[in-house]
Amino acid sequence: EPEVTQTPSHQVTQMGQEVILRCVPISNHLYFYWYRQILGQKVEFLVSFYNNEISEKSEIFDDQFSVERPDGSNFTLKIRSTKLEDSAMYFCASTQLTTGTGKDNEQFFGPGTRLTVL
């Protein structure tokens, strides 16, 4: 069964450093998302991406964050200057293009990248 993959599984970085988190969405999916989950807290939406542009973003997704689809398979999240409070699990998700209601609204998640900022 197709699945979303993410690398690395764990990233440790120093405060102020840049990190790039990578995702390979399910191949026939067209909408991509980044969420994060700080330990013990709710899953939080960061950004959605469709047709090579940001579709929606949250207040968390400030100028320190950017997303890119550099080729036909990868989807990346870049944090330019990491802060201690960026430490979290980062999840990539993907879904098919919505045609109305039904299963194509379902978002499937990758295994996550645990980001630790020291």
- Interaction of residue 10 with another protein, rule CB under 8 A: no
Does residue 58 contact residue 46 with C-beta atoms inside 8 Å? yes
Residues 6 or more apart whose Cβ sits within 8 Å of residue 83: 15, 64, 117
Distance between CA atoms of residues 89 and 75, nearest Å: 17
28 Cβ contact list (under 8 Å, min separation 6): 2, 96
Which of 21, 31, 82, 117: binder of another protein (CB under 8 A)?
31
Q: Does 65 engage in binding with another protein (CB under 8 A)? A: no
Q: Which of 25, 112, 115, 117 binds another protein (CB under 8 A)?
A: 112
Report d(CA 118, CA 104) in Å as an integer: 39
Smallest distance, another protein to C-beta of residue 34, A: 10
How many residues of this chain bind another protein (CB under 8 A)?
29
List of residues contacting another protein (CB under 8 A): 31, 33, 35, 41-45, 48, 50, 55-56, 58, 89, 91, 95, 97-98, 101-103, 105-112
